[in-house]
Amino acid sequence: MTEEMMSLRTLLEKSADADLLREMVGFAAQRLMELEVESLTGAAHGERSPERINHRNGYRDRDWETRAGTVELRIPKLRKGSYFPAFLEPRRMAEKALAAVIQEAYVQGVSTRSVDELVKAMGMTGISKSQVSRLCVEIDDKIGAFLDRPLEGDWPYLWPDATYVKVRQNGRIVSVAVIVAVAVNSDGRREVLGLTVGASEAETFWTAFLRTLARRGLRGVKLVISDAHEGLKAAVAKVLHASWQRCRVHFMRNVLAHAGKQGRRVVAAFIATAFAPEDAETARSQWRQVADQIRPKVAKLAALMDAAETDVLAFMSFPKDHRPKIHSTNPLERLNGEIKRRTEVVGIFPNEDAITRLVGAILLEQNDEWAVQRARYMTLETIAPLNDDPFVKLPAAAA
């Protein structure tokens, strides 16, 4: 039976009916994806079900190179989280990087958390240093090309953020900062711009990182969105000369800590009224009014609002359509969560190169996923006025 099927396949591939085989492969793959998404959402396409846990959000096109030819797939998208069929890339870059990091720790005799169990589970016994070295070089070359690529055009919005991982240094286990920068370009698309690893988030560290991005071509930055870090704020003013937006979500957490359990809901509702106005001046006026109302009862909270007014309301001076995406670091939360999930598998990294290898691979995959998305993160019409290049700005609409 197997030989008959192979003969049939050979005949189809050589005949004018090769399209039939390609269509069969495409149909099977599409059906498999639909079934997987059905299990992820808890309901069939268009079905109303109390068991539903997620919803579909359209499709994105992807060409799949097979022995039967190029198959055009429509990959389902989800409203919450993401879906990518495993059969397209059996060994994605991040998985290879994770294997390389674990192997490197193993052959060096570094006792990372559960490394022995991980090695056995992944079938990686009997690994030589030369094998690990070859794998690392292969991955590092690809990640290095990605992280050092020239940056072209304007980048109006920039989100830098840091997360911490543990690494061995000179016989000690220390925490180091992993800095990631994501930006939106003048085409309204998101890209990962850079990655670096350092001892802390000092101003000198941030300054060096931003200067590296500038040397690669970063320009046209209008707004930098981050949490409240004075070193980063100073570096932004020094290198990019851009406005700084303090993450609204982080600020609210800090403020509500001073409101007491009973007053948090009321205070949150008061402050939220300052984000409702259409224009920046009205928002600032409402902000000061709320601070004055709170001052008699919670003077410390009002003082915090006074000091943070300019930084928390910076986003109000930008297009209304962009404000939900630029008032906080939320656009980075999913990416940071994935970095945390993958790095926690390793526990303690053998060196900083291993951190760059794994996190860089995660960023490369995310960047590729953003690149194939049909919808732009921000529309051309709304982002064009922020472009510094007058030759690529959209013309104003006729009156």
Token pair, residue 116, equals 């022995």
What was the pLDDT predicted at 394?
43
What was the pLDDT predicted at 15?
46
Distance in angstroms (rounded) separating the CA atoms of residues 240 and 220: 9
What was the pLDDT predicted at 8?
45
What was the pLDDT predicted at 104?
64
Q: In this structure, which long-range contacts are made by residues 10-16, counting pairs with CB atoms below 8 Å and at least 24 apart in sequence? A: 12/68, 13/67, 13/68
Q: Which residues does the chain have with pLDDT short of 50?
A: 1-8, 11-12, 14-17, 91, 111, 391-399
What was the pLDDT predicted at 84?
81
What was the pLDDT predicted at 368?
87
What was the pLDDT predicted at 191?
96
What was the pLDDT predicted at 358?
86
For the entire predicted model, the pTM comes to 0.70
Token pair, residue 358, equals 């794994």
Q: Are 21 and 13 in contact (CB under 8 A)?
A: yes
For 88-111, write each residue's pLDDT tens digit: 765 466 666 666 666 666 555 554
